[in-house]
Chain A
Amino acid sequence: MSATLLSLAGVFLSTYLYLYKTGRIGTLACGTGSCEFVQFSSWSSFLGVEVSVIGIAGYLALFGLSLGTLQSPATERGWPSLALLLLALGGVLFTAYLTAVELFVLHAICRWCVGSAVIISLLFTVALLDWRRARP
Protein backbone atom coordinates (compact mmCIF):
# COMPACT_ATOMS: atom_id res chain seq x y z
CA MET A 1 0.00 0.00 0.00
CA SER A 2 2.83 2.36 0.87
CA ALA A 3 4.44 1.73 -2.51
CA THR A 4 1.15 2.56 -4.26
CA LEU A 5 0.78 5.84 -2.37
CA LEU A 6 4.42 6.79 -2.89
CA SER A 7 4.31 6.06 -6.62
CA LEU A 8 1.08 8.08 -6.97
CA ALA A 9 2.81 10.98 -5.23
CA GLY A 10 5.70 10.54 -7.67
CA VAL A 11 3.34 10.65 -10.65
CA PHE A 12 1.89 13.97 -9.46
CA LEU A 13 5.28 15.45 -8.65
CA SER A 14 6.68 14.54 -12.09
CA THR A 15 3.53 15.80 -13.80
CA TYR A 16 3.83 19.10 -11.92
CA LEU A 17 7.41 19.52 -13.14
CA TYR A 18 6.43 18.58 -16.69
CA LEU A 19 3.56 21.10 -16.72
CA TYR A 20 5.94 23.74 -15.41
CA LYS A 21 8.55 22.99 -18.05
CA THR A 22 6.00 23.21 -20.83
CA GLY A 23 4.64 26.53 -19.57
CA ARG A 24 1.23 25.30 -18.50
CA ILE A 25 1.33 26.34 -14.85
CA GLY A 26 3.36 29.54 -14.75
CA THR A 27 5.77 29.67 -11.86
CA LEU A 28 7.22 26.82 -9.88
CA ALA A 29 6.73 26.89 -6.11
CA CYS A 30 10.39 26.57 -5.24
CA GLY A 31 11.20 28.93 -2.39
CA THR A 32 14.92 29.64 -2.29
CA GLY A 33 16.00 26.64 -4.36
CA SER A 34 17.41 26.66 -7.88
CA CYS A 35 14.48 24.89 -9.53
CA GLU A 36 14.34 27.06 -12.67
CA PHE A 37 18.06 26.77 -13.26
CA VAL A 38 17.96 22.99 -12.93
CA GLN A 39 14.75 22.57 -14.92
CA PHE A 40 16.00 24.60 -17.85
CA SER A 41 19.54 23.28 -17.91
CA SER A 42 20.70 21.00 -20.69
CA TRP A 43 20.63 18.17 -18.14
CA SER A 44 16.85 18.32 -17.82
CA SER A 45 16.52 15.85 -20.66
CA PHE A 46 18.04 12.40 -20.97
CA LEU A 47 18.68 10.89 -24.42
CA GLY A 48 16.36 13.52 -25.84
CA VAL A 49 13.52 12.78 -23.43
CA GLU A 50 12.44 15.19 -20.70
CA VAL A 51 13.47 13.88 -17.29
CA SER A 52 10.00 14.73 -15.98
CA VAL A 53 8.44 12.56 -18.70
CA ILE A 54 10.76 9.70 -17.70
CA GLY A 55 9.60 10.31 -14.12
CA ILE A 56 5.93 10.15 -15.07
CA ALA A 57 6.43 6.93 -17.03
CA GLY A 58 8.54 5.36 -14.29
CA TYR A 59 6.19 6.24 -11.45
CA LEU A 60 3.17 5.10 -13.47
CA ALA A 61 4.87 1.74 -14.03
CA LEU A 62 5.69 1.52 -10.31
CA PHE A 63 2.08 2.43 -9.51
CA GLY A 64 0.79 -0.37 -11.75
CA LEU A 65 3.22 -2.93 -10.33
CA SER A 66 2.43 -1.93 -6.75
CA LEU A 67 -1.26 -2.43 -7.47
CA GLY A 68 -0.29 -5.84 -8.88
CA THR A 69 1.42 -6.82 -5.64
CA LEU A 70 -1.76 -5.98 -3.71
CA GLN A 71 -3.72 -8.63 -5.60
CA SER A 72 -2.05 -11.53 -3.73
CA PRO A 73 -1.07 -12.28 -0.13
CA ALA A 74 2.45 -11.12 0.82
CA THR A 75 3.97 -14.60 0.52
CA GLU A 76 2.55 -15.27 -2.96
CA ARG A 77 3.44 -12.12 -4.83
CA GLY A 78 6.22 -13.61 -6.94
CA TRP A 79 7.21 -11.62 -10.04
CA PRO A 80 5.30 -8.37 -9.32
CA SER A 81 7.36 -7.94 -6.16
CA LEU A 82 10.60 -8.61 -7.98
CA ALA A 83 9.63 -6.34 -10.87
CA LEU A 84 8.68 -3.58 -8.43
CA LEU A 85 12.02 -3.96 -6.66
CA LEU A 86 14.04 -3.90 -9.89
CA LEU A 87 12.19 -0.90 -11.30
CA ALA A 88 12.56 0.97 -8.00
CA LEU A 89 16.27 0.13 -8.06
CA GLY A 90 16.47 1.58 -11.56
CA GLY A 91 14.73 4.69 -10.27
CA VAL A 92 17.17 5.02 -7.39
CA LEU A 93 20.18 4.71 -9.71
CA PHE A 94 18.74 7.24 -12.19
CA THR A 95 17.99 9.62 -9.31
CA ALA A 96 21.52 9.19 -7.99
CA TYR A 97 22.85 10.16 -11.41
CA LEU A 98 20.60 13.25 -11.55
CA THR A 99 21.53 14.26 -8.01
CA ALA A 100 25.22 13.92 -8.85
CA VAL A 101 24.66 16.20 -11.86
CA GLU A 102 22.94 18.75 -9.62
CA LEU A 103 25.69 18.66 -7.01
CA PHE A 104 28.83 18.38 -9.12
CA VAL A 105 27.95 19.80 -12.53
CA LEU A 106 25.21 22.37 -12.02
CA HIS A 107 26.08 23.18 -8.39
CA ALA A 108 22.37 23.77 -7.82
CA ILE A 109 19.60 21.88 -6.11
CA CYS A 110 15.94 21.75 -7.05
CA ARG A 111 13.73 21.00 -4.07
CA TRP A 112 11.26 19.07 -6.18
CA CYS A 113 14.08 16.82 -7.37
CA VAL A 114 15.02 16.22 -3.75
CA GLY A 115 11.36 15.38 -3.10
CA SER A 116 11.41 12.83 -5.90
CA ALA A 117 14.67 11.39 -4.56
CA VAL A 118 13.05 10.90 -1.14
CA ILE A 119 10.00 9.25 -2.74
CA ILE A 120 12.01 6.82 -4.85
CA SER A 121 14.31 5.95 -1.92
CA LEU A 122 11.33 5.19 0.32
CA LEU A 123 9.69 3.26 -2.50
CA PHE A 124 12.82 1.17 -2.98
CA THR A 125 12.97 0.42 0.76
CA VAL A 126 9.30 -0.62 0.81
CA ALA A 127 9.76 -2.73 -2.34
CA LEU A 128 12.82 -4.43 -0.82
CA LEU A 129 10.94 -5.32 2.37
CA ASP A 130 7.98 -6.55 0.33
CA TRP A 131 10.22 -8.69 -1.87
CA ARG A 132 11.90 -10.23 1.19
CA ARG A 133 8.49 -11.09 2.61
CA ALA A 134 7.41 -12.58 -0.72
CA ARG A 135 10.43 -14.91 -0.96
CA PRO A 136 9.55 -18.54 -0.27
Chain B
Amino acid sequence: MAKPTGGLKPFYSALAVLAVAGIGVLGYLMSRQKPVSIPANVVVQLSDTLGFRGYLLGSDSAPIEVTEYADYQCPQCGAFATIQFPDVQHRLIQSGRVRWRYRDFPLSQHQFSRLAAHSAACASDQGRYWPQNASIYQGQIDWAMTKDAGGVFRNYAKANGLDLAAYDACMTSAKFAGRIQASYDEGVAVGIQATPTFMIGGRLYPGNMAADELVHVVDSLAAVKH
Protein backbone atom coordinates (compact mmCIF):
# COMPACT_ATOMS: atom_id res chain seq x y z
CA MET B 1 0.00 0.00 0.00
CA ALA B 2 1.40 3.37 -0.99
CA LYS B 3 2.06 5.91 1.70
CA PRO B 4 0.54 9.37 1.35
CA THR B 5 2.99 11.98 0.24
CA GLY B 6 3.97 14.42 2.95
CA GLY B 7 4.18 18.21 2.95
CA LEU B 8 0.78 18.77 1.37
CA LYS B 9 -0.72 20.67 4.27
CA PRO B 10 0.21 24.14 2.92
CA PHE B 11 -1.22 23.19 -0.47
CA TYR B 12 -4.50 22.02 1.04
CA SER B 13 -4.66 25.19 3.11
CA ALA B 14 -4.14 27.32 -0.01
CA LEU B 15 -6.75 25.24 -1.83
CA ALA B 16 -9.25 25.82 0.95
CA VAL B 17 -8.57 29.56 0.84
CA LEU B 18 -9.09 29.59 -2.93
CA ALA B 19 -12.31 27.59 -2.61
CA VAL B 20 -13.67 29.95 0.02
CA ALA B 21 -12.65 32.97 -2.07
CA GLY B 22 -14.37 31.54 -5.14
CA ILE B 23 -17.55 30.79 -3.23
CA GLY B 24 -17.39 34.29 -1.77
CA VAL B 25 -17.14 35.91 -5.21
CA LEU B 26 -20.07 33.88 -6.55
CA GLY B 27 -22.08 34.65 -3.42
CA TYR B 28 -21.37 38.36 -3.85
CA LEU B 29 -22.47 38.25 -7.49
CA MET B 30 -25.71 36.55 -6.46
CA SER B 31 -26.41 39.02 -3.67
CA ARG B 32 -25.96 42.00 -6.05
CA GLN B 33 -29.03 41.02 -7.98
CA LYS B 34 -32.09 43.05 -7.01
CA PRO B 35 -35.30 41.33 -8.08
CA VAL B 36 -37.91 43.39 -9.93
CA SER B 37 -41.57 42.62 -9.33
CA ILE B 38 -44.65 43.65 -11.25
CA PRO B 39 -47.74 44.35 -9.15
CA ALA B 40 -50.94 42.41 -9.78
CA ASN B 41 -54.53 43.65 -9.50
CA VAL B 42 -53.57 47.26 -10.16
CA VAL B 43 -56.32 49.73 -10.97
CA VAL B 44 -56.29 50.11 -14.74
CA GLN B 45 -56.14 53.70 -15.94
CA LEU B 46 -57.26 54.84 -19.36
CA SER B 47 -53.69 55.83 -20.07
CA ASP B 48 -52.56 52.23 -19.49
CA THR B 49 -54.11 51.00 -22.70
CA LEU B 50 -54.75 54.03 -24.96
CA GLY B 51 -56.30 51.82 -27.59
CA PHE B 52 -53.77 49.06 -27.12
CA ARG B 53 -55.47 45.73 -27.68
CA GLY B 54 -52.67 43.23 -27.86
CA TYR B 55 -49.49 42.50 -29.76
CA LEU B 56 -50.13 42.00 -33.43
CA LEU B 57 -48.43 39.85 -36.00
CA GLY B 58 -49.42 39.58 -39.64
CA SER B 59 -51.18 41.64 -42.24
CA ASP B 60 -53.90 44.16 -41.29
CA SER B 61 -55.83 42.97 -44.31
CA ALA B 62 -55.81 39.30 -43.30
CA PRO B 63 -59.40 38.01 -43.48
CA ILE B 64 -59.30 36.19 -40.14
CA GLU B 65 -57.99 37.24 -36.76
CA VAL B 66 -56.89 34.84 -34.06
CA THR B 67 -56.54 36.14 -30.51
CA GLU B 68 -54.39 34.07 -28.21
CA TYR B 69 -54.79 34.46 -24.44
CA ALA B 70 -51.67 33.06 -22.87
CA ASP B 71 -49.50 32.97 -19.79
CA TYR B 72 -45.72 32.91 -20.21
CA GLN B 73 -45.25 30.46 -17.36
CA CYS B 74 -47.95 28.01 -18.40
CA PRO B 75 -46.31 24.85 -19.80
CA GLN B 76 -49.04 24.33 -22.40
CA CYS B 77 -48.54 27.89 -23.64
CA GLY B 78 -44.81 27.17 -23.81
CA ALA B 79 -45.45 24.01 -25.79
CA PHE B 80 -47.70 25.88 -28.21
CA ALA B 81 -45.28 28.77 -28.62
CA THR B 82 -42.24 26.60 -29.25
CA ILE B 83 -43.70 23.67 -31.20
CA GLN B 84 -46.87 24.81 -32.96
CA PHE B 85 -46.51 28.56 -33.37
CA PRO B 86 -43.56 28.49 -35.81
CA ASP B 87 -45.68 26.32 -38.11
CA VAL B 88 -48.71 28.58 -37.58
CA GLN B 89 -46.58 31.58 -38.49
CA HIS B 90 -45.41 29.92 -41.66
CA ARG B 91 -48.76 28.57 -42.81
CA LEU B 92 -51.22 31.18 -41.66
CA ILE B 93 -49.58 34.45 -40.68
CA GLN B 94 -46.82 34.89 -43.23
CA SER B 95 -49.17 33.73 -45.96
CA GLY B 96 -51.49 36.63 -45.11
CA ARG B 97 -54.42 34.45 -44.12
CA VAL B 98 -54.44 35.32 -40.43
CA ARG B 99 -53.61 38.25 -38.24
CA TRP B 100 -52.41 37.10 -34.82
CA ARG B 101 -53.23 39.02 -31.65
CA TYR B 102 -51.45 38.06 -28.44
CA ARG B 103 -53.05 38.93 -25.10
CA ASP B 104 -51.50 38.43 -21.70
CA PHE B 105 -53.48 36.30 -19.30
CA PRO B 106 -51.13 35.88 -16.33
CA LEU B 107 -52.41 33.25 -13.93
CA SER B 108 -52.03 34.00 -10.23
CA GLN B 109 -50.34 30.67 -9.46
CA HIS B 110 -47.40 31.52 -11.70
CA GLN B 111 -45.06 33.86 -9.86
CA PHE B 112 -43.13 35.10 -12.90
CA SER B 113 -45.96 35.44 -15.44
CA ARG B 114 -46.46 39.16 -14.98
CA LEU B 115 -42.73 39.76 -14.89
CA ALA B 116 -42.38 37.88 -18.18
CA ALA B 117 -45.28 39.79 -19.71
CA HIS B 118 -43.73 43.05 -18.55
CA SER B 119 -40.36 42.09 -19.96
CA ALA B 120 -41.95 41.45 -23.34
CA ALA B 121 -43.86 44.74 -23.08
CA CYS B 122 -40.59 46.58 -22.43
CA ALA B 123 -39.11 44.86 -25.47
CA SER B 124 -42.13 46.07 -27.43
CA ASP B 125 -41.15 49.61 -26.44
CA GLN B 126 -38.02 49.04 -28.50
CA GLY B 127 -39.76 47.23 -31.37
CA ARG B 128 -38.49 43.81 -30.26
CA TYR B 129 -41.64 42.26 -28.83
CA TRP B 130 -41.77 39.02 -30.82
CA PRO B 131 -38.10 38.06 -30.40
CA GLN B 132 -38.45 38.60 -26.63
CA ASN B 133 -41.74 36.67 -26.58
CA ALA B 134 -40.03 33.77 -28.37
CA SER B 135 -36.98 33.85 -26.07
CA ILE B 136 -39.12 33.82 -22.93
CA TYR B 137 -41.15 30.86 -24.13
CA GLN B 138 -38.13 28.97 -25.43
CA GLY B 139 -36.38 29.44 -22.10
CA GLN B 140 -39.44 28.71 -19.94
CA ILE B 141 -37.89 25.58 -18.46
CA ASP B 142 -34.77 27.57 -17.52
CA TRP B 143 -36.38 30.49 -15.70
CA ALA B 144 -39.56 28.98 -14.29
CA MET B 145 -37.66 27.29 -11.45
CA THR B 146 -35.22 30.11 -10.70
CA LYS B 147 -35.24 32.39 -7.70
CA ASP B 148 -35.40 35.49 -9.84
CA ALA B 149 -36.39 35.14 -13.44
CA GLY B 150 -35.82 38.86 -14.04
CA GLY B 151 -32.12 38.27 -14.58
CA VAL B 152 -32.85 35.65 -17.24
CA PHE B 153 -35.31 37.98 -19.02
CA ARG B 154 -32.70 40.72 -18.95
CA ASN B 155 -30.23 38.36 -20.58
CA TYR B 156 -32.79 37.62 -23.29
CA ALA B 157 -33.23 41.37 -23.74
CA LYS B 158 -29.50 41.74 -24.26
CA ALA B 159 -29.37 38.79 -26.63
CA ASN B 160 -32.26 40.32 -28.58
CA GLY B 161 -30.36 43.55 -29.04
CA LEU B 162 -32.31 45.78 -26.66
CA ASP B 163 -30.87 48.94 -25.16
CA LEU B 164 -30.39 47.60 -21.63
CA ALA B 165 -30.44 50.97 -19.89
CA ALA B 166 -33.86 51.72 -21.36
CA TYR B 167 -35.01 48.15 -20.66
CA ASP B 168 -33.93 48.36 -17.02
CA ALA B 169 -35.68 51.70 -16.58
CA CYS B 170 -38.83 50.26 -18.13
CA MET B 171 -38.77 47.19 -15.88
CA THR B 172 -38.11 49.17 -12.72
CA SER B 173 -40.95 51.57 -13.49
CA ALA B 174 -43.43 48.68 -13.92
CA LYS B 175 -45.19 51.03 -16.32
CA PHE B 176 -46.98 48.25 -18.16
CA ALA B 177 -48.53 46.67 -15.05
CA GLY B 178 -51.85 48.36 -15.87
CA ARG B 179 -51.76 47.24 -19.48
CA ILE B 180 -51.15 43.64 -18.42
CA GLN B 181 -53.99 43.85 -15.92
CA ALA B 182 -56.27 45.29 -18.60
CA SER B 183 -55.40 42.38 -20.85
CA TYR B 184 -56.19 39.92 -18.06
CA ASP B 185 -59.48 41.69 -17.30
CA GLU B 186 -60.47 41.47 -20.95
CA GLY B 187 -59.72 37.74 -20.89
CA VAL B 188 -61.93 37.25 -17.85
CA ALA B 189 -64.68 39.30 -19.52
CA VAL B 190 -64.70 37.13 -22.64
CA GLY B 191 -64.73 33.94 -20.57
CA ILE B 192 -61.15 32.69 -20.57
CA GLN B 193 -60.78 29.87 -18.05
CA ALA B 194 -57.54 28.23 -19.12
CA THR B 195 -54.41 29.05 -21.04
CA PRO B 196 -53.78 29.03 -23.84
CA THR B 197 -57.18 29.83 -25.25
CA PHE B 198 -57.72 31.00 -28.82
CA MET B 199 -60.54 33.19 -29.99
CA ILE B 200 -61.26 32.57 -33.65
CA GLY B 201 -64.27 34.07 -35.33
CA GLY B 202 -65.83 34.97 -32.00
CA ARG B 203 -65.56 31.45 -30.62
CA LEU B 204 -63.21 30.26 -27.87
CA TYR B 205 -60.97 27.24 -28.33
CA PRO B 206 -59.36 26.38 -24.98
CA GLY B 207 -56.15 24.36 -24.70
CA ASN B 208 -53.05 23.81 -26.75
CA MET B 209 -54.06 23.50 -30.41
CA ALA B 210 -51.94 21.80 -33.01
CA ALA B 211 -51.04 23.89 -36.04
CA ASP B 212 -53.06 21.48 -38.19
CA GLU B 213 -56.16 22.08 -36.07
CA LEU B 214 -55.75 25.83 -36.33
CA VAL B 215 -55.34 25.61 -40.10
CA HIS B 216 -58.45 23.43 -40.24
CA VAL B 217 -60.51 25.96 -38.24
CA VAL B 218 -59.23 28.85 -40.37
CA ASP B 219 -60.00 26.89 -43.56
CA SER B 220 -63.55 26.27 -42.33
CA LEU B 221 -64.07 29.92 -41.46
CA ALA B 222 -62.66 31.04 -44.78
CA ALA B 223 -65.03 28.66 -46.60
CA VAL B 224 -68.00 30.06 -44.68
CA LYS B 225 -66.95 33.64 -45.51
CA HIS B 226 -66.81 32.82 -49.20
Question: What is the size, in residues, of chain B's interface with A at 8 Å between Cβ atoms?
Answer: 34
For B2, give its contact among A23, A25, A72 (CB under 8 Å). A72
Asked if A76 contacts B2 (CB within 8 A), the reply is yes
Binds B, one of A1-9, A90-98, A114-122, A123-131: A1-9
A72 touching B5 in the complex, CB below 8 Å, given contacts A1-B11, A19-B26, A27-B155: yes
**CB of A57 within 8 Å of the partner chain:** no
**CB of B159 within 8 Å of the partner chain:** yes
Asked if A23 contacts B149 (CB within 8 A), the reply is yes
Asked if A72 contacts B4 (CB within 8 A), the reply is yes
Measured in the bound complex, the distance between the Cα atoms of B164 and A26 in whole Å is 12
Binds A, one of B29-37, B84-92, B100-108: B29-37
Count of A-B residue pairs with CB < 8 Å? 85
A25 touching B30 in the complex, CB below 8 Å, given contacts A4-B15, A8-B22, A40-B159: yes
**CB of A73 within 8 Å of the partner chain:** yes
- Residue-wise, chain B 9-36 has the 8 Å CB interface mask toward A (1 for contact) of 0010001001100100110011011000
Asked if B33 contacts A24 (CB within 8 A), the reply is yes
Measured in the bound complex, the distance between the Cα atoms of B7 and A73 in whole Å is 12
Asked if A25 contacts B151 (CB within 8 A), the reply is yes
**CB of A46 within 8 Å of the partner chain:** no
> Cβ of A28: which chain B residues have Cβ within 8 Å of it?
155
Asked if A23 contacts B158 (CB within 8 A), the reply is no
**CB of B147 within 8 Å of the partner chain:** yes
* Interface members, chain B 141-178 (any A CB < 8 Å): 142-143, 145-156, 158-159
The chain B residue sitting closest to A34, CB to CB, is: B159
**CB of A43 within 8 Å of the partner chain:** no
A70 touching B8 in the complex, CB below 8 Å, given contacts A4-B15, A40-B139, A40-B159: yes
Asked if B155 contacts A24 (CB within 8 A), the reply is no
- Residue-wise, chain A 27-41 has the 8 Å CB interface mask toward B (1 for contact) of 110000000110110
> Cβ of B29: which chain A residues have Cβ within 8 Å of it?
16, 19, 25-26
Interchain residue pairs with CB less than 8 A apart (18)? A1-B11, A4-B15, A5-B18, A8-B15, A8-B19, A16-B29, A19-B29, A21-B142, A23-B143, A23-B147, A23-B149, A25-B32, A25-B151, A40-B159, A70-B8, A71-B5, A72-B5, A76-B2
